[in-house]
Amino acid sequence: MYILSPQPYLAWIDNSDTIHASDTCYHLREYKEYRDSSYYAKISGVAPRLDEIRVYPRTIYQTEYIYRDIVQKNKRWGLGLSAGYGIGRNGLSPILAVTVNYNLFQW
């Protein structure tokens, strides 16, 4: 992410916190905070250094796993082809027939 010259959101000088640079030179520590909808940064010091940064991404990824049991509906009706022996005008004879079935029991 590239941020072009951010402006400080909050800046202050801490009078109780000093930095000793040499034998007689004391500097007050300066704090600055930069804030936007996509980041928060805090820097401090005489020659500023980054103390803290938080980045807020705009895209959130979420993965959901869905498990489903696929159960097939039991079929009761059917169309079939039957072969066997039947009783007709000429007595017992072989027969080949197309049948409509209804299943009473299933296994």
Instruction: Give the pLDDT score at 83.
Output: 92
CA distances from 48 to 5, 25, 33, 44, 94 (A): 15, 17, 11, 5, 103
**pLDDT for the residue 10:** 62
> pLDDT for 51-72, tens place per residue?
888 888 788 788 899 998 888 7
pLDDT band of 6, cuts 50, 70, 90 = low
SS3 state of residue 85: strand
pLDDT > 80? residue 95? yes
What confidence tens digit (pLDDT) does each residue in 28-44 have? Answer: 777 888 888 888 888 88
Distance CA 89, CA 91 (A): 6
Q: Which residues contact 25 (CB under 8 A, 6 or more apart)?
A: none
Q: Is the pTM of this model over 0.75?
A: no
Return the ∠ at Cα 26 (arms to 22 and 28), rounded to 5°.
140
pLDDT at 103: 84
